[in-house]
Homo-oligomer: A and B are copies of this chain.
Amino acid sequence: MFGITPSSRLRPSPFFAATQSEGVCAFTSYNNMLMPTSFGHPEEEYWRIINGVSQWDVAVERQVQLLGPDAGRLAQILCARDLSHCKVGQGKYVPLCNHDGILINDPILLKLDDDRYWLSIADSNIWFWARAIAAERGLKVEVSEPDVSPLAVQGPKAEDVIASMFGDWVRTLKYFWFRETSIDGIPLVLARSGWSKQGGFELYLMDGSKATALWDKVREAGKPYGIGPGAPNACERIESGLISYGGDTDGTTNPFEVRLGKYIDLDVADDVVGIAALRRIHGEGVKRQQLGVQLDNTTPTELGFHWHGIYKGDQRVGDLTNCVWSYRLKHNIGFGLVASDCAPGDRVVVQKDGQAIGATLKTLPFI
């Protein structure tokens, strides 16, 4: 593994000190910040998410705050998903597209108030994007990055941990809904969400100076349930079919290609960015689709830093956009962004670093 050179272009999370105490040993960069990716025990960290409970520093999921009388209008202009029924306290998964209908991020939108929204973003600069659209359209809205840093608690025992801290009301919280609350003077937004399919919550810490205090409180409350440190887990998310913007997408990917069509409402108003292009793309049908890929080989074969070609005979039919050893399936699995005429069950060959590996296309999710 290569080292990462310190630079103030790559900010640490407010949870940096806490994760150092836990033995963090590797990072990725995301939104020009550092996100822990490993505490040195990958398999243990995986099973903790599947069977127990895990706490993650996901402060890199930054918030793009829209504040002001036109906040709701800007939110709708940015998202090709109908937000007219979104309530205060409700979150929604909202693919963002540019004017050509190309995916530029896939945040969770949180409606904190009629004039205050957060876009809890994936890894691309939506501050620039939202500011450009707001300013060019003359909207009365301030776009900012507030002092908000999510800490995720994920796994089947997450609900017990969070209920022990905040009370049993959290058990009735619906998926993506949230409540502003606090614990021992630490202000936060508590949401049922997180980048796994094992269930859990995200604590959107609203005061970075209290990050270690919050981390330690979760750690303490989680002890009876065997909590430990973790991070967004490549194996779990691939098994579960969750996409990674920028990892599984390229500069021409539209939402219909990567199973996000159900979050697009084609009848939103004409001033929504990209809606004309999305209607056209939907009408014409997509040229690529996202399917699972299960490799034949049984030696762990990680993707590395770039996509690998998927072939039928001599014809390149697409790309393998991620790949990981599945501890549950005992196979290498990944996502393929492949031609529309491919189908689950098809036999293909992945060309990886000079090696030809047989594989079968699968429906997603794997599990």
Contact = CB atoms under 8 A, between A and B. Distances in A.
Nearest to A125: B125
A244 interface: yes
B28 A4 contact: yes
A262 interface: no
Contacts of A128: 98, 104, 124-125, 128-129, 132
A135 interface: yes
Interface residues of A, number: 54
A185 interface: no
Interface in A1-58: 1-12, 16, 24-30, 32, 34, 37-38
A344 to B, nearest CB: 22
Contacts of A177: none
B124 A306 contact: no
B5 A37 contact: yes
B4 A247 contact: no
A10 to B, nearest CB: 6
Given A8-B321, A98-B131, 6 more contacts: A3-B27, A9-B246, A32-B246, A124-B125, A124-B128, A128-B129
Interface of A: 1-12, 16, 24-30, 32, 34, 37-38, 98-99, 104, 123-125, 127-129, 131-133, 135-137, 145, 244, 246-248, 251, 273, 302-307, 321-322
